[in-house]
Structure 1
């Protein structure tokens, strides 16, 4: 290798790192030291890899906006429940790139369905800390489906989002726990999916991100991958979700998620 080639490689590496720092700055928007400055004090290589992979290679991609990437990131981190500091960082980042406090709260309400109430409550506690430090007072307006309309509303949204796949899940419970099937319709869809502040597309983005990150609910991930496409999601967006998950849930989770996406996309293409 010539000296010129070595110099060009060094320049490319520096450009990639600097580009990552520029993207991180848009998410971070801090007047003080960057979070990567603290990482670099102990592991400069990890700081560099985070900037290059996490921000240049992943956040720098087209296909999803920064707002959408932050929503899916806090959904994944909230669902996993294993990285509270990073969750708080990305709640701040979500606010910085244009997400509203109400969208963030709604993301965590949505997680009650897929990762449970403890994970959602912990994520909401992290949001409370961030909102308090910034003096943010989110809307406390209540949204409630009338008790007499929960099943009808839920059934309509099951059909709109998940189609026949959702109906099959409910029917499969009739011989063992019809009550659970009713709760899925009334709570998950009648109470939660019907709420404002997230569109159905955003709700399915949160759902596939959470299910993919947890890695414990492949059948449900498959159903909601269909759902994501049913409400206007695209093949390209699904691939971006999997790539984003590689940073926050790890490459095995991303690969498993992508394999589910592959199967569903093939079904949709063959059906078309």
Structure 2
């Protein structure tokens, strides 16, 4: 007599299939590494992270892997897992250049040391994939652009991407730290956001994931939830990115992210109703 398949078995099988798709041989052998000490944690990871969260609609596997790379780079506390998800990104069709750009983008939100550590992990991963294309992205020099022109280009990008929420951030800095506001405009928006390879929606999904995972940037998370919606992202995509962070940064971080999302969605609904 054939044993009945339980819901837990279904979640496990679905999760193991997705884990293998993402992780390849490392994913298939994931449980073996924990079998001697925490087999329960291995099964919970397969069932919850992959059987439940990864199986949800709303984001592609490539998007899910890029936001993992962003969040783990920003957190800076999980180098082996960052390496695993860089490999996972490659396994589901993300290009080396997209991975590198996602890590560079994190220099704005988690600092240059975090980005340098992320690049070190990517370099090791790429070395094990000898068939990869060159990940180096060449950015055209702005020619004879003046400091004023760079500033104006960044200011235009900030207004287009962050809208009023971003402009309020810059206004806030003017009272005590106007140079900080200028650096945000020039470095974050004129330099980093203007780089090729990643579209603005991907950049904002990565930013929402990172700010959620960091757990220390609620005002900035609200700004970038607005930004994601401004550049064509949906509320569903925002919620999916935040929900996924429950796996990597814990439920408190995800719950705080959802609180921020609720506030942003309500504000946009109120604004729409007023018009």
TM range (shorter): over 0.9
Contact 2:97–2:136 at 8 Å: present in 1 too? Answer: no
Alpha-carbon distance between aligned partners in 2 of 1:168 and 1:130, rounded to the nearest angstrom: 40
Cα distance per residue 1:116-139 (max 9 Å; x no partner): 011111011000000012124524
Alpha-carbon distance between aligned partners in 1 of 2:239 and 2:136, rounded to the nearest angstrom: 35
Give, in angstroms, the shift of residue 38 of structure 1: 1.3
Q: Does 1:260 align with 2:260?
A: yes
TM-score, with structure 1 as normaliser: 0.93
Q: Is 83-92 or 136-145 further displaced after alignment?
A: 136-145
* Structure 2 match to 1:111: 106
Alignment of 1:96-175 (within 5 A): 96-135=91-130, 136=132, 138-144=134-140, 146=142, 147-148=145-146, 149-175=149-175
- Closer/same/farther in 2, CA of residues 50 and 155 from structure 1, 3 Å limit: same
* Structure 2 match to 1:89: 84
Give, in angstroms, the shift of residue 235 of structure 1: 1.1
Q: CA RMSD in A?
A: 1.7
Alpha-carbon distance between aligned partners in 2 of 1:36 and 1:71, rounded to the nearest angstrom: 23
Structure 2: gaps spanning 5 or more residues:
none
Contact 1:23–1:56 at 8 Å: present in 2 too? Answer: yes
Q: Does 1:40 align with 2:44?
A: no
When the two structures are aligned, how many residues end up with a matched partner?
266
Alpha-carbon distance between aligned partners in 2 of 1:40 and 1:259, rounded to the nearest angstrom: 37
Give, in angstroms, the shift of residue 42 of structure 1: 2.3
Contact 1:161–1:231 at 8 Å: present in 2 too? Answer: yes
Structure 1: gaps spanning 5 or more residues:
1-6
TM-score, with structure 2 as normaliser: 0.92
Alpha-carbon distance between aligned partners in 1 of 2:68 and 2:10, rounded to the nearest angstrom: 25
Alpha-carbon distance between aligned partners in 2 of 1:190 and 1:16, rounded to the nearest angstrom: 45
Alignment of 1:237-252 (within 5 A): 237-252=237-252
Alpha-carbon distance between aligned partners in 1 of 2:137 and 2:34, rounded to the nearest angstrom: 40
Moved over 3 A (4+): none
Give, in angstroms, the shift of residue 12 of structure 1: 2.0
Cα distance per residue 1:162-220 (max 9 Å; x no partner): 11111111122222121111111011000000000110001101111111100111111
Give, in angstroms, the shift of residue 47 of structure 1: 1.1
- Closer/same/farther in 2, CA of residues 31 and 242 from structure 1, 3 Å limit: closer
Give, in angstroms, the shift of residue 41 of structure 1: 3.3
- Closer/same/farther in 2, CA of residues 32 and 234 from structure 1, 3 Å limit: closer
